[in-house]
Homo-oligomer: A and B are copies of this chain.
Amino acid sequence: MSTPRNVPLRRALYVGTFIHCKTLQELDICENGVIGVDEHGKIAFLERDAENVDLVTAAHGWGDAHIVRTSSSQFFFPGFIDTHIHASQYPNAGIFGQSTLLDWLNTYTFPLESSLANVNTARVVYSRCISRTLSHGTTTAAYYATNHVDSTNLLADICLDAGQRAFVGRCCMDSLSPDFYKDISADAAIADTKSTIDHIKSIDPTYGLISPILTPRFAPSCTPPLLHALGQLHRSTDLPIQTHISENLGEVQLVRKLFPESTSYAQVYDMYGLLTSKMILAHAIHLSTSERDLIKERDAKISHCPASNSALTSGGAKVRWLLDSGITVGLGTDVSGGYSPSMLEAVRQASLVSRHVAMLDGDAAKLSIEEVLYLGTRGGAKVVGLEDRIGGFEVGKEWDAQLVGLALVPEAKAAQHEGALCAESFKLPSGEGPVDIFGWESWNEKVAKWVYNGDDRNTLSVWVKGRLVHQRS
């Protein structure tokens, strides 16, 4: 169902409708497009309104290229970028009961994560998680693993093997964690983190597909010496960092108690040199205005995780308020605080949660279809620092894309059985996704239908850096 890593890429032409985000407010819809992707997986050219594909092929001398065409109810769309997902928590997706963050960690999360000390367990969990996220069109993910070196290294191996672009973080946690699942010291946490960095360097020396990411679990799980050492490591390596911030009110109070010398949660990270333009902050629900301004000043990025925030009753993040201040925002599934590994679900929930925020803060808080799709693609690309390489279809960018297909309702057929309705009328074609198209919809309406009712069945093929990494069977 995918092209193995050792098979060289062929040049390929993608022909038909492609849709991507032009700006936060606007989709770019190109109905008769041709995109040429070279043997390095890069977009070599892009022709709009191409009436005759043969002419385009000839003009570029690409007669030998492999051709992929869309039908009238299909379109190419950029792959999704999941800016916050705990691969290690995947088996718990959907299991959280009535909990909120701090009891959820102890009840559900730490026991599961600690079980990934066993590499065979980790292999089962990570293989399935990566298969699923690819099938949902996630071409790039910022993963939390666990604090185990071998399992974390295995996650990097699996991502590379599966062809998914990934940031893989060994989770640092030397405080307020259970004895059975904890770094024994700040030094040990740093040494283990360096081991995973070395491993990733050995399998992907240029970080072309897989990159390490420094991962202090969250401030309450880290002692000041660990935060300090991670800040040093960040400065010396320039590696990206990911963590959590201000997800839950109890957590915010705990941080205030644990770090009495700091003026805010954001300032804790800032104090240790972690709040930089390479920092991904997940959640950011209960920020003060001054925290928001500090985050903006440092150009740190925010991963909005709407499904998780509803599920754990954490709160409704004020995304409009963040965007208006100029902060870069992307989306995260946050499995398994978030119940779903699907970025399309994250996109949909970003829209729905923004409506709950709007019920309190007014209509301006509502995010449009265009905006939530932007957050899931271009926004995410900026969050992970890859906006020059992925997130949209432009010459020079890499081909991280999905082919989306919708089900066209067979109008004529159903209309035949005027008098006697027969069983045939009720038959749903097997394998077709849940999105029904009746033929009169504009492209914007088709996209809206996909966002609100689509699932992995609509993601027919997925490419990363030009390589086919998933195809529906």
Residue among A4, A358, A417, A421 facing the most chain B CB atoms (10 A cut-off): A421
Determine how close the nearest CB of chain B comes to the CB of A24; give it in whole angstroms: 14
A78-120 interface code vs B (CB 8 A; 1 in, 0 out): 0000000000001101111110000000000000000000001
Of A194-202, A258-266, A296-304, A431-439, the one touching chain B: A431-439
A352 contacts across to B, CB distance below 8 A: 310-311, 352
How many copies the complex holds: the figure is: 2
Q: Is A192 an interface residue (CB 8 A)?
A: no
B135 & A428 in contact (Cβ 8 Å cutoff): yes
Out of B90, B120, B342, B448, name the residue touching A415 (CB < 8 Å).
B120
**Interface residue ranges, A against B (CB under 8 Å):** 1-2, 4, 90-91, 93-98, 120, 123-125, 127-128, 130-132, 134-135, 157-158, 161-162, 310-311, 313, 315-316, 339-340, 342, 352-353, 355-356, 358-360, 363, 366, 368-369, 409, 411, 414-415, 417-418, 421, 423, 425-428, 430-431, 434-436, 438, 441, 445, 448-453, 455-456, 472-473
Assess whether A124 is in contact with B438, with CB atoms less than 8 Å apart.
yes
How distant is A150 from chain B, measured CB to nearest CB, in Å?
12
Quick check: A426 and B2 within 8 Å, CB to CB? yes
Question: Which of A339, A352, A414, A473 is packed against the most chain B CB atoms within 10 Å?
Answer: A352
How many Å lie between the Cα of A356 and that of B360 in the bound state? 11
A250 to chain B, nearest CB (A): 12
A463 nearest CB across to chain B (Å): 15
Q: How far is the CA of A15 from the CA of B352 in the complex (A)?
A: 40
- Contact across chains for B132 and A428 when beta carbons are under 8 A apart: yes
B contact residues around A90 at 8 Å (CB): 436
22 A-B pairs with CB atoms under 8 Å apart are A4-B423, A91-B438, A93-B452, A93-B453, A94-B435, A94-B448, A94-B451, A95-B449, A97-B368, A98-B366, A124-B411, A131-B425, A157-B421, A158-B421, A158-B425, A161-B421, A310-B356, A313-B358, A313-B366, A339-B453, A342-B434, A431-B431
For chain A, what secondary structure do more than half of its interface residues adopt (helix, strand, loop), or is it mixed? helix
- Pairwise interchain contact B414-A124, C-beta atoms closer than 8 A: yes
Q: Which residues of B contact A441 (CB under 8 A)?
A: 95
Flag if A456 contacts B434 (CB, 8 Å): yes
Most buried by B among A95, A132, A360: A95
- Whether A453 contacts B340 by the Cβ 8 Å rule is yes
Given contacts A2-B423, A123-B418, A340-B453, 18 further A-B contacts (CB under 8 A): A1-B426, A95-B448, A96-B448, A98-B363, A98-B366, A124-B409, A124-B414, A127-B414, A127-B426, A128-B414, A131-B428, A135-B428, A311-B452, A339-B453, A353-B356, A356-B356, A430-B431, A430-B472
Give bound CA distance, A134 to B428, whole Å. 10
The residue on B at minimum CB distance from A315 is B359
- Nearest B residue to A413 via CB reads B124
A359–B247 Cα distance when bound, in Å, is 13
Instruction: Please name all residues of chain B whose beta carbon is closer than 8 Å to the beta carbon of A130 when the two chains form the complex.
Output: 426
Contact (Cβ within 8 A) B455 A359: no
Q: Considering only CB atoms, which chain B residue lies closest to A440 in the complex? A: B91
